[in-house]
Amino acid sequence: MTRHRDVELLAVGAGPSNIALAVALEELAPVDLARNSLLIERSETVAWQRGMLLPWTQAQVSFLKDLVTLRDPRSKFSFLNYLHSVDRLNEFVNLGTFTPYRTEISDYLQWAANTLSTVRVEYGRGCASIGPVMDSNGVLTGWLTRLADGSTIASRFLSIGVGREPNIPEVFLRLPDRRLIHSTQYLPRISEMSKDLPYHVAVIGGAQSAAEMLYSVQQDLPSCRATMVMRSIGLNNYEHSKFTNELYYPSFTDEFYNALPGAREQFLRELHRTNYAGLNPALLDALYRQLYQERLVGKQRIQMITMTDVTGARMDSDEVVLELTDRKTGGVSELRCDLVLLGTGFAPRMPRLVRHLSSALRLDRIAVTRQYRLIVDGPATAACYLQGVNEATHGIADSLLSVLAKRASEITEDILTWRPSLQPRHQPGQQPPSALTPSQGATQVLGIS
Ligand SMILES: Cc1cc2nc3c(=O)[nH]c(=O)nc-3n(C[C@H](O)[C@H](O)[C@H](O)COP(=O)(O)OP(=O)(O)OC[C@H]3O[C@@H](n4cnc5c(N)ncnc54)[C@H](O)[C@@H]3O)c2cc1C
C-alpha cells in the first residue's frame, strides 16, 4: 500500500456516525468532495457495538431513527430499503415492532457502507495518531493521520467518530486482564473461555449492559453462577415518557446548545434514567422471574447485591477477591470469584486520539461549535469534526442514533460553507506534510508552505 496519501476528507471510525456522514456526503455534497473522501475502520468489518452484539437484544430506538430517514425519508440508505434489499420487509412488518434486533441494525450499517458508491471505505486501518499541519505563517492547513501500519494520510477535513472509551473504575486496574472483561469486549473474550468450568462470575453495575451480561453469561458459561453487585437500590426499568422523549429529537439540539449551564445540567440529570441507569422492561422481568423461580426451588444460580460499592480488588492465589462496602451499614465484606464482568459504561472524557490532538494544538479545553467543528486557536483553513462525544454541549442524544442523520447533514453543510473560500492545500507531487506532535508547540511552524 502507498505509504502516504492525500484526501480532502478523512473520517476515522466506521461506526454509525461516520457512515451517516459518508451517506450525507454522497447525497448532499459535490461529487468531487465525496470522491475525495475516505472512511477508515480498524476492524475488518462494520459491526454495531461488536462486544455486545447479543442475538436476542433489540435496539432501544425506532428503526426510523436510521442513518437518513429523519433528514430525508426518500433516501435509498433507509433501514426500510435495507430490509427490502435483503428480502425481509414483509417479515419485519409482520413482527410489528419499531425496535429491530441489534444484529440487524449492525447488518444494516454494513449494508449501507457496502452501498456507498463514491465515498471509499477501507477496513483494517486503525488510526494511531492525528497531528495538526501548519503552514509557514502559522495557519492550520490540515491534519496528518498516522495509521497503525505506519502509513500516513493528509486531509483538510477530518471527522473523528471512534466512539467512547470504556470506563474501568480504578479499583479494578490491579486485577490481571484475564480476570476482567468490560462489556465492550464481552463476546470475543467470553467465547475464549472454556465452557464447562464452574466459574463464579461477579457482574458489576446495575444498568442495561450489566443486566445483559448477567443474562447472557448463564448460557455462555453454562456451569457458572453469577453475583451482580450494584450501587443502586435495585434494578429499574429505564424511564420512558413520550413527553421527555421529545428531548431526543434532532431539533432539540439547538435548544440544549443555547441553554444556560444550569439548564443543561438539569436536562442531563433528569434524562439520565432514560438512557443510562435503567433496563429494558422485558429483560428486567425475565431476571426477576428467574430469581423468583430459583427461590421457589431453593437453588440460586444468580444473586444480587444492592447498595454496595466495590472498594478493593486483589488476587488470592487463583481467586479474585472483591472488597464490598455496604452503603447502608458501612460494613465491609469479601466476594470471592473467578471472573469480573464490568457493566460500568463509558468514560466521560474525550477519546485518546482527540486528547492527543488537542494537546498538539495546545488547546485549553476541547470544545466544538454548534456544527461539531473543533474550536482551535488562531487562523485555520482546515477543520476537524467530533462526533458522538459532545453530550455536555449538544445533549443526551449526542452519543445515540437519534441525531445521526441530522448531524451528518449539518457537518456536510458546514464543510460546504467553508470549502469554496479555501485554497488548495499543496500541489500534487509535493512532500507529505509533517504534523506537530504533543511535545511541540502548536505555534511552531512546520511542514508545507
Ligand atoms: C451495548 C450498547 C447498546 C447501544 N444501544 C443503542 C440503542 O439501542 N440506540 C441508540 O441510539 N444508541 C445505542 N447505543 C449507543 C451507541 O453509542 C450509538 O448507537 C452509536 O454506536 C454511536 O456511533 P459512533 O459511530 O459514534 O461510535 P461507535 O458505534 O462506537 O463506532 C466507532 C467505530 O470506530 C472504530 N474505531 C475506534 N477507534 C478507531 C481507530 N483508532 N481507528 C479506526 N477505527 C476506530 C470502531 O471500531 C467502531 O467501528 C448503544 C451502545 C452500546 C454500548
Nearest CA to ligand 1 atom 35: 13
Which one of 181, 346, 401, 402 would you pick to mutate in the ligand 1 pocket, going by the greatest count of ligand atoms within 8 A of its CB?
401
Ligand 1 pocket, mutate which of 17, 58, 213, 279 (most atoms under 8 A from CB): 17
Distance (Å) of CA 392 to CA 4, 13, 328, 347, 351: 36, 22, 32, 13, 15
What DSSP designation does 56 have?
Answer: T
The contacts of residue 417 (CB under 8 Å, 6+ apart) are none
- The grid coordinates of residue 201 equal 462470575
d(Cα 76, Cα 53) in Å, to the nearest integer? 25
Residues 313-325 pLDDT 10s: 999 999 999 999 9
- State residue 428's pLDDT score: 46
Rg of the chain over CA atoms, in angstroms? 24
pLDDT (0 to 100) of residue 239: 84
- Return the half-sphere exposure (C-beta side, CA atoms, 13 A cut-off) of residue 354: 29
Q: Which residues of the chain have pLDDT under 70?
A: 1, 423-449
How far is the centre of ligand 1, averaged over its atoms, from the C-alpha of 388 (Å)?
8
Q: Which of 353, 400, 406 to mutate to test the pocket of ligand 1 (most atoms within 8 A of CB)?
A: 400
Q: Closest residue (by CA) to atom 14 of ligand 1?
A: 400
Distance 16 CA to ligand 1 centre (A): 7
> What are the start-end ranges of the E strands in 49-205?
120-122, 127-134, 140-147, 152-160, 180-182, 200-204
Query: What local confidence, expressed as pLDDT, does residue 1 receive?
Result: 60
What angle (nearest 5°) sits at the alpha carbon of residue 268, between those of residues 263 and 274? 135
Question: Which residues, in sequence order, are bridge partners of residue 270?
Answer: none
Which atom of ligand 1 is found nearest the CA of 17? 25
CA 379–ligand 1 middle distance (angstroms)? 32
Give the number of other Cβ atoms within 10 Å of residue 443's Cβ.
11
Query: Ligand 1 centroid vs 15 CA: distance in angstroms?
Result: 5
For residue 354, the model assigns a pLDDT of 98
CA of 414 to the centre of ligand 1 (A): 23
CB-based pocket (< 6 A), ligand 1: 12-18, 40-43, 48-49, 52, 59-61, 126-127, 161-163, 209, 387-388, 399-402
- In this structure, the residue with its CA closest to atom 38 of ligand 1 is 162
Condensed to tens digits (0 to 9), the pLDDT of residues 8-42 reads 999 999 999 999 999 999 999 999 999 999 999 99
Ligand 1 centroid to 163 CA: how many Å?
5
Distances from the Cα of 204 to the Cα of 88, 208, 304, angstroms = 38, 11, 10
Atom of ligand 1 nearest to the CA of 387: 26
Q: Name residue, grid cell 490481571.
A: 176
Q: What is the pLDDT of residue 433?
A: 63
Please state the pTM of the whole predicted model.
Answer: 0.94
Q: How far is CA 213 from CA 35, 176, 178, 207, in A?
A: 42, 20, 17, 10
Residue with cell 499541519: 133
Ligand 1, residues 165, 350, 387, 399: which to mutate, most atoms within 8 A of Cβ? Answer: 399
Q: What is the largest CA-CA distance in the chain?
A: 77
* Residue 438 dihedral angles phi and psi, to the nearest 5°: -55, -30
Q: Are 13 and 41 in contact (CB under 8 A)?
A: yes
User: Quick one: 404 exposed, middle or buried, by C-beta within 10 A (0-12, 13-18, 19+)?
Assistant: buried
Tell me, what's the pLDDT at 420?
Answer: 80
For the record, the C-alpha cell of 401 comes out as 442514533
DSSP E strands, 113-246: 120-122, 127-134, 140-147, 152-160, 180-182, 200-204, 225-229
Strands 120-122 and 37-40: parallel
Three-state DSSP at 212 gives helix
